Amino acid sequence: MEPRRPFLMKGLGYSHPDHAFGTWHGGLVVSHETWHLADLDPTDRTTLHTQLLSTLRTSYGRTGVGLFEHAVVGRHDPSGMPDGTGAAVR
């Protein structure tokens, strides 16, 4: 797997204070938010869920493009996340 571009899931329902998945607003609601990626804190809980646009190569010679979606939830001492609420940034 060769990561090409990160895609933050920020604002897409995960951990969003107003528009979390399954939140009912009484009907159609349209809104938007804008962020400058360079200004985002990578340790903020709302930016931890990420997808990576990646080039994928198999051991038998095939190549394709796909998304690698990942999130770490919970305690992970080796990454410096002893209470499961922070982020490991290296």
Q: Which residues contact 66 (CB under 8 A, 6 or more apart)?
A: 53, 54, 56
- Is 9 buried (19+), middle (13-18) or exposed (0-12) by CB count in 10 A? middle
Q: Given a cut of 60, is residue 5 above it in pLDDT?
A: yes
Q: Given a cut of 50, is residue 90 above it in pLDDT?
A: no
- Give bridge partners of residue 3 from the DSSP assignment: 54
Q: Given a cut of 60, is residue 69 above it in pLDDT?
A: yes
Give residue 54's pLDDT: 93
Q: What is the pLDDT of residues 13-68, one digit of tens each?
A: 667 778 777 788 898 888 888 989 889 887 777 777 788 899 999 999 999 999 88
What are the sequence ranges of the domains in the chain?
Answer: 1-20+45-90
Going edge to edge, which strands form the sheet with 50-57? 2-8, 50-57, 63-70
Q: Given a cut of 80, is residue 2 above it in pLDDT?
A: yes
Q: Given a cut of 70, is residue 72 above it in pLDDT?
A: no
CA distance 51 to 6: 6
